[in-house]
Structures are given as structure tokens and as C-alpha cells.
Amino acid sequence: MDVQRIRQDFPILQRQIGGRPVIYFDSAATTHKPRQVLDTIQTFYTTYNANIHRSPHTLGQEATDLYEQAHRNVARFVGAEDWREVVFVRNSTEGINLVAYSLLHGAGDRLRLAPGDEVVLSVMEHHSDLVPWQMARDRGGIVLKYVGVREDGTLDLSQLQASLGERTRLVCCAHVSNVLGTINPVREIGRLAHEVGALFLVDGAQSVPHMPTDVEEMGCDFLVFSGHKMLAPMGIGVLYGRRELLEEMPPFLYGGDMIADVTLEGATWNELPWKFEAGTPNVCGAIALGGAIDRKSGRRLEGAVDYLQRLGMEAVRAHEIELTARALAGLQAIPEARLYGPLEAERRCGVVAFVVEKDGELVDAHLVAQLLDDEGIAVRAGGHCAYPLAQHLGVPGTVRASFYLYNTTDEVDRFVTALRRIIDDRLL
């Protein structure tokens, strides 16, 4: 992968912070957008803008066609058999809320979560995959069971196995932890869930942008991910769900495009995926994520998915392993830095969280991040929307550096050098 060439596609990387070109190590929060995707946004609004599925005029038809192509392209990207299994939502959080609401409120008997039914989660979940289930517990009387994390930052699979039983209806798990970077063995977890007749939801927010994804191979029933973490704009995300399940589930939001017919007495629902796409969707965001071609002119609107596919997800993954291995080695050479998560780069994604201890005292993670920012290095600090995990690790927060395809090994080296200097000179 020619990273120097790739970097030219990202105008924001020209920005200077603290008098130096910014080193952006916060892609787990959101990624930058390449000029190809920015062009697509501009092209959509300057050439094709119209509402979809309703206007008979040329612009309306073109916008509808581009939007539906985006469904299909995203479906191919994640290996979905049927494009109707791809529902456009705002983000991963909305996708999980949709599933939680729908399973709690009136899915058919086979799917409905009833009091006493069990949902199994991991301690390393992001709040987006915890709080919707806690609300379902409080409102619907379901029981939550949590699977812990082992010393090496991996999921405790024996505890998972012990948590599963005949009342388990659903297992929810992040494919990749946004703090530990751990890649969870989703295929194995899915197999265990299905063995007891439970459904399996994968939070792919930190995996889909970084490695090849195949929902069939993963064996998941639901997968959520966010466009903004994979080069697309904010406000577009995806819920993948197996068709037979989505067919049975009731809508989450009501009104607009999700209806087939309405009388004053009631309404019937549209087909998939529109049943779950109420109101005017983020048409431009979907196209900027999935990409599409104007069939009349042949003009290409490149989406984030096209960009990633051109590079190849295997290559994206290989590049991140290289960056992660370098960061892990560099940080391990700093005795004051305590790292979390597996220490082998192959077992994790490009997320490296650590704390700094100086003279036996934990340094505030926000202070470390602030001092790195002074050097033009953007990292995140805090609980990373995974407070229970921070509690489990016994720290108020960590510093997190997260990488993507536009980062270089040179940037990693400069980050490690800057941290060393900060510990020596600025933390007194």
C-alpha cells in the first residue's frame, strides 16, 4: 500500500497544529474523508439532489437509483446474500437501539424478548452496546449477563460458555474492542450462541473499517457499523440483519417511507429494507458510503466502500498490523507506559490504549493527551464510552492512539519519541 500516495487524498492531513503537520491518531473516534468521497458529496448536492421514492421527476428517479445502488454495494462489501438485509441508519448506536427496541416491542413470539429472557454481553462493550440492553432490562424485565475480560485483554470464553443456557435469547459482542483493540473470535462466539438457540449481534464499529468482513462467514444474525469510522461522512451507518429476522421484526421509527399504506385506522409496513428507514434518509451519506454510478452518463460517484475495496481490505489490515506492532514495541520500551490489550499486533486492531505512571503515580490521561496535542499529535483520553471496562481495568481512563490507512510508521515513531520527551521533561 502506497501510504504517501494515499495521504494526498486527505486534504485535512495538510493541517498544521502546533506548527507541525497534524498526526491524527484518533480514527477509532472518526476517520478523515478522502477527496473522492468529498467529491461525491459535492456532486450529489450539485447534480442529483432530490428526495427519493416519491418524486416522479428525473432528479427524483436518479437520486433513488443512486441510493439503491449504495444499498447493494454495501451489501456486497460485507458479504450479505441479499441487499435488502442492509438497512441504512445513522450509526452503530442507532442500529443497536433498533434491534433492542424491535425485539422488545412486539416481534413475533419466536423473537420477542420476554421477562426472564437473558441477553449476554461482554464487559468490553461500548456504551452503545450496553445501555440499550440496560434499558430493555429496566423496561422489559430481561436479564443481562456479562462476560469478563482475561488478564491479557481477551474475552473469557469459558465464562461465556458458562453464561449460555436455555433462557439465552441473544449474545451481543464487539468484534473489536475500541479500547483494548482485541479482536474477538466472533465465529466461535456465534457458534456457541446458536448452539443454545440464541441470536448473535456483532458490533462491527471497530472491525468493518479495518479488516475484511463477511457476515456469512462470521455467522452473525445482526451486524452494525458506522460510516464515519470508515471514510464516509457522519450520520450514515448500517444495520445488517438476516432477512427472515428483519421480516418478523416490527419497525423502530414510524412515518414517511416505511409505510405501505395508511388509513385513519392504521398502517401497513413497507418491504425491507425501507420498513426500517423511516422519514427522509441520509441519501447523500448512503451514496458517499456505498458509492454509485449514474447509469445514463456513466459518471461515477465514488463511495468510501469503493475506496477501501480499491486498496483491498487485506492490505488495510496488513498496514495496521505494521503500525500497531511498531507502536506496541515503542511503548513497551517506555517503562512508565502501561499498555492494555493483547501484546501481539496480529491479535488486535490498530487501537493502542495505555496509561502513564510517573514516580509510582498515575498521570491524568487528559493531561498526557493535552501535552501530545501541543506536539501536534491527536489522541483521545478518558473512558472511551466503555466505562465498565475502565472500571474493570481499575483506572479512571486511558490514553488511546488509533490508526488508519493514512498513518505512517514515521508518525508512530514521532509519537513514541514525543511521549518519551513529555514524560522526561513535562511531567514533573
For the annotated catalytic residues, the residue numbers are 385
Least distance between ligand PLP and beta carbon 186 (Å) = 13
Using alpha carbons, select from 30, 71, 31 the residue that is nearest to residue 285: 71
Q: Which stretch binds ligand PLP (CB under 6 A): 49-57, 77-85, 90-98, 356-364?
A: 90-98
Nearer to ligand PLP, 66 or 96 (CB): 96
Residues 64, 128, 163, 282: which binds ligand PLP (CB under 6 A)?
A: 128
Least distance between ligand PLP and beta carbon 346 (Å) = 20
Q: What is the footprint of ligand PLP within residues 197-226 (CB under 6 A)?
A: 203, 205-206, 226
Residues 36, 73, 91, 154: which binds ligand PLP (CB under 6 A)?
A: 91
Nearer to ligand PLP, 236 or 416 (CB): 236
- CB-CB contact of 100 with 129 (8 Å): no
- CB-CB contact of 50 with 57 (8 Å): yes
Residues 33, 71, 126, 242: which binds ligand PLP (CB under 6 A)?
A: 126
Interaction of residue 69 with ligand PLP, rule CB under 6 A: no
Least distance between ligand PLP and beta carbon 92 (Å) = 4
Nearer to ligand PLP, 183 or 385 (CB): 385
Nearer to ligand PLP, 63 or 173 (CB): 173
Helix, strand, or coil (residue 305):
helix
Burial letters for 81-92: b for 16+ Cβ neighbours within 10 Å, e otherwise? Answer: eebbbbbbbbbb
Least distance between ligand PLP and beta carbon 7 (Å) = 24
Helix, strand, or coil (residue 268):
strand
Interaction of residue 236 with ligand PLP, rule CB under 6 A: no
Nearer to ligand PLP, 234 or 267 (CB): 234
Nearer to ligand PLP, 127 or 137 (CB): 127
Residues 93, 102, 184, 408: which binds ligand PLP (CB under 6 A)?
A: 93
Nearer to ligand PLP, 176 or 249 (CB): 176
Least distance between ligand PLP and beta carbon 388 (Å) = 13
| 235, HSE (Cβ side, Cα atoms, 13 Å) | 10
Question: How big, in percent rounded to 5, are the helix, strand and coil portions of the chain?
Answer: 45, 20, 40
Using alpha carbons, select from 79, 109, 36, 50 the residue that is nearest to residue 311: 36
Beta-bridge partners for 240 = 86, 223
| Alpha helices by DSSP H, 141-251 | 157-163, 186-195, 215-218, 243-248
- CB-CB contact of 343 with 326 (8 Å): no
Least distance between ligand PLP and beta carbon 249 (Å) = 20
Tell me how far apart the terminal alpha carbons of the chain are, to the nearest angstrom: 41
Give backbone dihedrals phi and psi of 382, rounded to 5 degrees, phi first: 125, -150
Q: What is the footprint of ligand PLP within residues 366-385 (CB under 6 A)?
A: 385
- CB-CB contact of 257 with 269 (8 Å): no
Q: Is the preceding peptide bond at 34 cis, omega within 30 degrees of 0?
A: no
Least distance between ligand PLP and beta carbon 228 (Å) = 6
Q: Which stretch binds ligand PLP (CB under 6 A): 91-99, 144-152, 279-287, 302-310?
A: 91-99
Q: Which stretch binds ligand PLP (CB under 6 A): 45-53, 126-134, 289-297, 302-310?
A: 126-134
- CB-CB contact of 376 with 23 (8 Å): yes
Count, residues near ligand PLP per rule CB under 6 A? 13
Euclidean distance between CA atoms 375 and 384, whole angstroms? 22
40 alpha carbon, distance to own chain's centre: 22
Q: Which stretch binds ligand PLP (CB under 6 A): 36-44, 122-130, 245-253, 260-268?
A: 122-130
Q: What is the footprint of ligand PLP within residues 157-196 (CB under 6 A)?
A: 174, 178
Nearer to ligand PLP, 226 or 398 (CB): 226
- CB-CB contact of 159 with 421 (8 Å): no
Residues 36, 64, 92, 102: which binds ligand PLP (CB under 6 A)?
A: 92
Using alpha carbons, select from 373, 395, 375 the residue that is nearest to residue 384: 395
Interaction of residue 53 with ligand PLP, rule CB under 6 A: no
Residues forming contacts to ligand PLP in the complex (CB under 6 A) are 91-93, 126, 128-129, 174, 178, 203, 205-206, 226, 385
